[in-house]
Amino acid sequence: MPMTTLCDPTIISRVYEMKDKGVFISDIAKILSNEVGDKITQISICRALNAREEEPQQELTELDYPSRMEMEEVFSELLQKQENRICIFGGKQLKRNVMIEILNKFMNKEFDFQEVKKNLYKTTDGDTVWQHWNYLLKGNYIEKVDDYKFKFCDRVKKWKTFGQV
Protein backbone atom coordinates (compact mmCIF):
# COMPACT_ATOMS: atom_id res chain seq x y z
CA MET A 1 0.00 0.00 0.00
CA PRO A 2 1.54 3.36 -0.98
CA MET A 3 2.36 5.91 1.69
CA THR A 4 -0.17 8.67 1.95
CA THR A 5 1.00 12.22 2.40
CA LEU A 6 -1.16 15.22 2.92
CA CYS A 7 -0.28 18.00 0.49
CA ASP A 8 -3.41 20.12 0.30
CA PRO A 9 -2.99 23.14 2.62
CA THR A 10 -6.72 23.31 3.36
CA ILE A 11 -6.79 19.71 4.55
CA ILE A 12 -3.63 20.25 6.60
CA SER A 13 -5.12 23.35 8.22
CA ARG A 14 -8.27 21.33 9.04
CA VAL A 15 -6.04 18.69 10.66
CA TYR A 16 -4.36 21.37 12.80
CA GLU A 17 -7.70 22.93 13.68
CA MET A 18 -9.26 19.65 14.77
CA LYS A 19 -6.14 18.62 16.71
CA ASP A 20 -6.11 21.98 18.51
CA LYS A 21 -9.74 21.41 19.46
CA GLY A 22 -8.91 18.07 21.06
CA VAL A 23 -10.22 15.65 18.45
CA PHE A 24 -8.43 12.30 18.44
CA ILE A 25 -6.31 11.40 15.40
CA SER A 26 -8.53 8.40 14.58
CA ASP A 27 -11.58 10.66 14.48
CA ILE A 28 -9.74 13.26 12.37
CA ALA A 29 -8.93 10.53 9.84
CA LYS A 30 -12.58 9.43 9.67
CA ILE A 31 -13.97 12.95 9.39
CA LEU A 32 -11.52 14.05 6.70
CA SER A 33 -11.89 10.80 4.74
CA ASN A 34 -15.63 11.40 4.63
CA GLU A 35 -15.21 15.06 3.66
CA VAL A 36 -12.58 14.51 0.97
CA GLY A 37 -13.80 11.20 -0.39
CA ASP A 38 -10.31 9.63 -0.30
CA LYS A 39 -8.84 7.44 2.40
CA ILE A 40 -6.76 9.54 4.78
CA THR A 41 -4.73 7.43 7.16
CA GLN A 42 -3.88 8.14 10.76
CA ILE A 43 -0.17 7.90 9.97
CA SER A 44 -0.44 10.65 7.33
CA ILE A 45 -2.14 12.85 9.91
CA CYS A 46 0.64 12.09 12.40
CA ARG A 47 3.25 13.03 9.80
CA ALA A 48 1.49 16.33 9.10
CA LEU A 49 1.28 17.08 12.81
CA ASN A 50 4.95 16.20 13.38
CA ALA A 51 5.96 18.49 10.52
CA ARG A 52 4.05 21.37 12.06
CA GLU A 53 6.14 24.15 13.46
CA GLU A 54 5.15 24.99 16.99
CA GLU A 55 3.65 28.42 17.28
CA PRO A 56 4.10 30.30 20.53
CA GLN A 57 1.01 30.23 22.73
CA GLN A 58 -0.67 33.63 22.67
CA GLU A 59 -1.62 35.09 26.01
CA LEU A 60 -5.26 36.07 26.22
CA THR A 61 -6.08 39.55 27.43
CA GLU A 62 -8.89 40.40 29.82
CA LEU A 63 -11.05 41.47 26.87
CA ASP A 64 -10.68 38.07 25.16
CA TYR A 65 -12.65 36.30 27.89
CA PRO A 66 -16.46 36.35 27.89
CA SER A 67 -18.22 39.15 29.77
CA ARG A 68 -20.85 38.55 32.42
CA MET A 69 -23.57 39.44 29.93
CA GLU A 70 -22.21 36.95 27.39
CA MET A 71 -22.08 34.19 30.01
CA GLU A 72 -25.66 34.91 31.05
CA GLU A 73 -26.74 34.81 27.41
CA VAL A 74 -25.18 31.37 26.95
CA PHE A 75 -25.68 29.64 30.33
CA SER A 76 -28.66 31.32 32.05
CA GLU A 77 -31.38 28.89 33.06
CA LEU A 78 -33.83 31.80 33.42
CA LEU A 79 -33.28 32.83 29.81
CA GLN A 80 -33.64 29.19 28.77
CA LYS A 81 -37.23 29.24 30.04
CA GLN A 82 -37.94 32.22 27.79
CA GLU A 83 -36.07 30.95 24.72
CA ASN A 84 -33.79 27.93 24.44
CA ARG A 85 -32.12 29.07 21.21
CA ILE A 86 -28.90 31.10 21.52
CA CYS A 87 -27.82 31.70 17.92
CA ILE A 88 -26.85 30.02 14.67
CA PHE A 89 -23.15 29.12 14.65
CA GLY A 90 -21.43 27.15 11.91
CA GLY A 91 -24.73 26.40 10.24
CA LYS A 92 -26.25 24.79 13.35
CA GLN A 93 -28.64 26.20 15.89
CA LEU A 94 -27.07 26.40 19.36
CA LYS A 95 -29.25 25.69 22.36
CA ARG A 96 -28.94 26.86 25.95
CA ASN A 97 -29.94 23.51 27.43
CA VAL A 98 -26.92 21.85 25.75
CA MET A 99 -24.57 24.62 26.96
CA ILE A 100 -25.98 24.42 30.49
CA GLU A 101 -25.61 20.63 30.48
CA ILE A 102 -21.96 20.90 29.39
CA LEU A 103 -21.29 23.50 32.09
CA ASN A 104 -23.00 21.53 34.84
CA LYS A 105 -21.25 18.24 34.01
CA PHE A 106 -17.75 19.56 33.39
CA MET A 107 -17.40 22.81 35.36
CA ASN A 108 -14.97 21.54 37.99
CA LYS A 109 -12.93 19.03 36.03
CA GLU A 110 -10.80 18.64 32.93
CA PHE A 111 -12.51 17.08 29.93
CA ASP A 112 -12.06 16.41 26.24
CA PHE A 113 -14.34 16.54 23.22
CA GLN A 114 -15.00 12.78 23.33
CA GLU A 115 -16.29 12.97 26.92
CA VAL A 116 -18.61 15.82 26.03
CA LYS A 117 -19.82 14.02 22.92
CA LYS A 118 -20.40 10.79 24.86
CA ASN A 119 -22.33 12.56 27.65
CA LEU A 120 -24.51 14.54 25.25
CA TYR A 121 -25.17 11.73 22.78
CA LYS A 122 -28.76 11.31 24.05
CA THR A 123 -29.40 15.06 23.93
CA THR A 124 -28.18 15.91 20.45
CA ASP A 125 -26.28 14.57 17.43
CA GLY A 126 -22.49 14.65 17.01
CA ASP A 127 -22.49 17.51 14.51
CA THR A 128 -24.42 19.75 16.86
CA VAL A 129 -22.11 18.88 19.77
CA TRP A 130 -19.16 19.83 17.55
CA GLN A 131 -20.72 23.27 16.86
CA HIS A 132 -21.40 23.87 20.56
CA TRP A 133 -17.79 22.83 21.31
CA ASN A 134 -16.43 25.25 18.67
CA TYR A 135 -18.55 28.08 20.08
CA LEU A 136 -17.19 27.50 23.59
CA LEU A 137 -13.61 27.40 22.28
CA LYS A 138 -13.83 30.47 20.06
CA GLY A 139 -15.53 32.47 22.81
CA ASN A 140 -12.82 31.42 25.31
CA TYR A 141 -15.38 29.87 27.66
CA ILE A 142 -13.12 26.81 27.75
CA GLU A 143 -9.35 26.76 27.55
CA LYS A 144 -6.78 24.16 26.61
CA VAL A 145 -4.89 22.40 29.42
CA ASP A 146 -2.85 19.99 27.27
CA ASP A 147 -3.13 18.23 23.90
CA TYR A 148 -6.61 16.81 24.48
CA LYS A 149 -7.80 18.18 27.82
CA PHE A 150 -9.77 21.38 28.34
CA LYS A 151 -11.39 23.16 31.28
CA PHE A 152 -13.78 26.03 31.80
CA CYS A 153 -12.01 29.35 32.31
CA ASP A 154 -11.92 30.81 35.82
CA ARG A 155 -14.30 33.61 34.86
CA VAL A 156 -17.04 31.13 33.91
CA LYS A 157 -16.46 29.14 37.11
CA LYS A 158 -16.74 32.29 39.25
CA TRP A 159 -19.88 33.35 37.40
CA LYS A 160 -21.48 29.94 37.94
CA THR A 161 -20.49 29.78 41.59
CA PHE A 162 -21.13 33.33 42.77
CA GLY A 163 -22.77 35.59 40.25
CA GLN A 164 -25.37 33.59 38.39
CA VAL A 165 -28.59 35.49 37.89
pLDDT tens for residues 106-154? 988 999 888 888 887 666 665 678 888 888 988 889 998 887 899 999 9
What percentage of the chain has pLDDT greater than the value 70? 85
Look at residue 94 in the predicted model and tell me its pLDDT: 86
Look at residue 2 in the predicted model and tell me its pLDDT: 39
pLDDT digits (tens, 9 = 90+) for 45-66: 988 888 876 655 667 677 778 8
Pairing of strands 142-144, 150-152: antiparallel
Look at residue 124 in the predicted model and tell me its pLDDT: 61
What CATH architecture applies to the domain 62-163? Answer: Orthogonal Bundle (1.10)
Q: Which of 66, 48, 67 is nearest to 143 (CA)?
A: 66
Q: E strand or H helix at 133, and its extent?
A: helix 126-138
Domain ranges for the chain: 9-51, 62-163
DSSP state of 63: G
